[in-house]
A and B are shown apart, each in its own frame.
Chain A
Amino acid sequence: MKYASLLSLLILALGLVAVPAYSDTVTVSATVSPYISVTFNYNAVDFGTVTVGSTDNHPTPDYTTGVYNVTIDTNTNYTVTVSGTDFSDGAGHTFSVANLKMSVNTTTTFYNFSSVTTSSQTIYNGVDTDTINYHAFLLDVPSGQYAASYSSTLTINYATA
């Protein structure tokens, strides 16, 4: 009984010293958008001297070294699309960009080479955890193609899925 009385007094005392207070509970919200940022670590691919009628020529240096790579920073899945202009020597001789084949992977092991076209086409679907892509290129040279130096411009685009 004595202890009960003491407890009552303690509760009362605590009640008397309650500090006036005002509290605001604020809900802070934000909607994070899909994001991707890529850094191309190369800007040219050189096949050197190739033979008319040859196929699957490798560039120099070879893509297996991983030199044609792109650093990726993304929070979402993404797609890689590519398009290109036909090869031209600037003197009226050309051949189709479809002779160029490209592959993308997160390692230097490549599968599923796709022929490049002049219209944009998806050649790879990545995931949000990817941090690097390696690119591979193969070139076919049409038979009878006029001997000259040819070039094509590729447009490789990374976009959030």
Chain B
Amino acid sequence: MKKTTIFLTLSLVFFSLIPIGFSENVVNNYGFETGDLSNWTVIGYGTATVTSEKSYSGSYSLWMGNDLVYISQNISRNISYVEFYYYKNQTDTNFVGIPTIFLRNQTGDICKITYNGTLNTWKRVYFNLETGENESITTSDCPIGSEIYVHEIRIGFDGYNQTEGGFFDNIMAYSREITKCDDVLLEGRHTLISDVSGSDSVCINIPVSNVILDCNTYTITGNGSNTGIRIGAAPTNITVEDCHLRNFYKGVLFFNDREIEVLSNVTIKNSDIRANYTIYSNAQITSGYVFNNTLNGSIFVNTTPAYHDITFERNYYTNPDGTGYSDTCTDSDCDKICDTPYSVYDSVTDDYTLSFYTYPSGFIVTFNYSSINFGSVNPYQTYEVDGVFACGYSNSSFEVYVNGTNFSTEWTIDNLNLTMYYTGYSKTKTLSTSRTLFDTFVQGLFKHFHKFLVYVPLVSPGTYTATVTIDYLLV
């Protein structure tokens, strides 16, 4: 019972300190903990001084006053939420300044957020541009309902010539755009807009539900011993997509810190994960879905919990040596799916395990047949066998040559035609005993269906055999 009480108390403090839901504070030196105005530019006639006289958190805050004065910082980001802490000097009874945040594009103000409270104590002032939620503010020209692009954030006193001032601390603007390791604390889509690297034990932490983390194919790089993305504390409906994870011990971690928690509807898709453990699950999880990823490293799923339901489908399983299952599996029909599914964990298989034809290189050809049998045939008739093929990949143009031996003296090989066809292409050649060029083909994946058509002359009953040689070679 005592332990539970402590936990809840800590949780409340935790959430009160972080504006709920946004990925990243994009304001540098937001709390002036450098002890100076690094990253800020002072505009106006008054005074802006970093001081340790008061602070909401940390050691410093900013005092501004004496006259019209602002501080400014270029952020050039999409912003969803702004906040700052303000302390009105209690001794300044005549002070009528109005602390204001100006969100500006490159031509001027696009949104003005003004604090209209009067308390002489630290006051958190915030405005959620997506929902309109706020605390003690009035706004002017601020669009509500979506994030807005902000080139410059400016904060100060609006329009008054003063002799006194107030303290500012923790001036923050939050974006759903991610550029560094951070917590994702609100539902909705969060997008990487640059590569991210970090040595945090967890780089991107997702402890809440209904989140889409879109890495937009940017790369998140770790230090070799940390975790790239952690999904835990029982959220549901989480999607992680288009992420490139590098140099992590655990790429994506499904995590519960209490046994009663169950993750559900968690999807990892279209991502390229290189880690000791690409997917590491220690969680109770239902409806997990790992789809269409390249997984370069091991996979661990703890099957001890009652629920460990993770479906793996259409993933490429490899390792740093390039000798992983997908790299070496047999794909006899070149359809990019291994002939035999990869056994991921326990009895779970990836029934559409991607093969090396997903990332083909060089020149490789697979023939799916080595004999053609026309069966019983009658003289003066033609017979055909099709459905056999050669498939593969070439990184440059290649040629196909054919030749064959006679069935017998009376039944020569020129009674046999070979047709190659695939979408948009068909060509037929009569075989001969001399090696002749069938055709030249362009680079890329290919699948040539071969059809053999034979004419049977009047020959004695019996079984006849010819040998046809089909050569694929680079030009």
Q: Is the CB of B375 within 8 A of A22?
A: no
Q: Is the CB of A76 within 8 A of B463?
A: no
Cα A73 to Cα B457 in complex, Å, equals 12
Cβ 8 A contact of A27, one of B362, B458, B467, B472: B467
Q: Scoring B residues 385 to 412 as 1 if CB is less than 8 Å from chain A, else 0, what string do you get?
A: 0000010100000000000100100000
Q: Scoring B residues 443 to 475 as 1 if CB is less than 8 Å from chain A, else 0, what string do you get?
A: 000000000101010111111111111111110
Q: Is the CB of B464 within 8 A of A32?
A: yes
Cα A32 to Cα B375 in complex, Å, equals 8
Q: Is the CB of A26 within 8 A of B376?
A: no
B365 proximal to A (CB < 8 A): yes
Q: Scoring A residues 17 to 33 as 1 if CB is less than 8 Å from chain B, else 0, what string do you get?
A: 00111111111111111
**Which residue of the partner chain B has the closest CB to A160?**
B461
B378 proximal to A (CB < 8 A): yes
Cα A73 to Cα B458 in complex, Å, equals 8
Cα A23 to Cα B379 in complex, Å, equals 31
Which residues of B in the span 331-368 have a Cβ within 8 Å of any Cβ on A? 362-365, 367
Cα A76 to Cα B458 in complex, Å, equals 10
Q: How large is the interface on A (under 10, 10 to 19, 20 to 34, 35 or more residues)?
A: 20 to 34
Which residues on the A side are within 8 Å of B374 (C-beta)? Answer: 28-31
Interface of chain B: mostly helix, strand, loop or mixed: strand
A75 proximal to B (CB < 8 A): yes
Q: Is the CB of B370 within 8 A of A27?
A: yes
Known: A21-B471, A22-B392, A35-B458. A28 touches B376 (CB 8 A): no
Q: Is the CB of B469 within 8 A of A23?
A: yes
Which residues on the A side are within 8 Å of B452 (C-beta)? Answer: 28
B434 proximal to A (CB < 8 A): no
Q: How far is the CB of A72 from chain B (nearest CB, A)?
A: 11
Cα A136 to Cα B153 in complex, Å, equals 119
Cα A32 to Cα B369 in complex, Å, equals 22
**Which residue of the partner chain A has the closest CB to B408?**
A32
B416 proximal to A (CB < 8 A): yes
A128 proximal to B (CB < 8 A): yes
Cα A21 to Cα B464 in complex, Å, equals 29
Cα A24 to Cα B378 in complex, Å, equals 27
Which residues on the A side are within 8 Å of B376 (C-beta)? Answer: 30-33
Cα A27 to Cα B473 in complex, Å, equals 20
B383 proximal to A (CB < 8 A): yes
Cα A123 to Cα B467 in complex, Å, equals 43
Q: Scoring A residues 48 to 60 as 1 if CB is less than 8 Å from chain B, else 0, what string do you get?
A: 0000000000000
Which residues on the B side are within 8 Å of A20 (C-beta)? Answer: 362-363, 473-474
Cα A29 to Cα B467 in complex, Å, equals 9
**Which residue of the partner chain B has the closest CB to A35?**
B379
Known: A19-B473, A22-B367, A33-B377. A27 touches B465 (CB 8 A): yes
Q: Is the CB of B473 within 8 A of A76?
A: no
Which residues of A in the span 85-137 have a Cβ within 8 Å of any Cβ on B? 128
B371 proximal to A (CB < 8 A): yes
Known: A20-B363, A73-B458, A75-B458. A30 touches B470 (CB 8 A): no
B304 proximal to A (CB < 8 A): no
Known: A22-B392, A23-B469, A24-B470. A29 touches B371 (CB 8 A): yes
Which residues on the A side are within 8 Å of B11 (C-beta)? Answer: none
A142 proximal to B (CB < 8 A): no
A34 proximal to B (CB < 8 A): yes
Which residues on the A side are within 8 Å of B370 (C-beta)? Answer: 24-27
Q: Is the CB of B467 within 8 A of A31?
A: no
B96 proximal to A (CB < 8 A): no
Which residues on the A side are within 8 Å of B416 (C-beta)? Answer: 28
Cβ 8 A contact of B461, one of A23, A25, A28, A75: A75
B43 proximal to A (CB < 8 A): no
Known: A29-B371, A30-B456. A35 touches B461 (CB 8 A): yes
Q: How far is the CB of B380 from chain A (nearest CB, A)?
A: 8
Cα A97 to Cα B458 in complex, Å, equals 37
Q: How far is the CB of A101 from chain B (nearest CB, A)?
A: 33
Known: A22-B367, A73-B458, A76-B461. A29 touches B373 (CB 8 A): yes
| 9 more A-B residue pairs beyond the given contacts A32-B462, A35-B458, with a C-beta to C-beta distance below 8 A | A22-B365, A22-B473, A23-B470, A26-B469, A27-B371, A27-B465, A28-B374, A30-B456, A76-B460
The 5 closest A-B pairs by CB, nearest first: A21-B473, A22-B365, A30-B374, A24-B367, A27-B371
Q: Could you list 17 examples of A-B contacts with CB < 8 Å?
A: A20-B473, A22-B364, A22-B367, A26-B372, A26-B469, A27-B370, A27-B372, A27-B466, A28-B407, A28-B465, A30-B464, A31-B375, A32-B462, A32-B464, A33-B461, A35-B458, A75-B458
Residues in B lying within 8 Å of A, measured CB to CB: 362-365, 367, 369-380, 383, 390, 392, 404, 407, 416, 452, 454, 456, 458-474
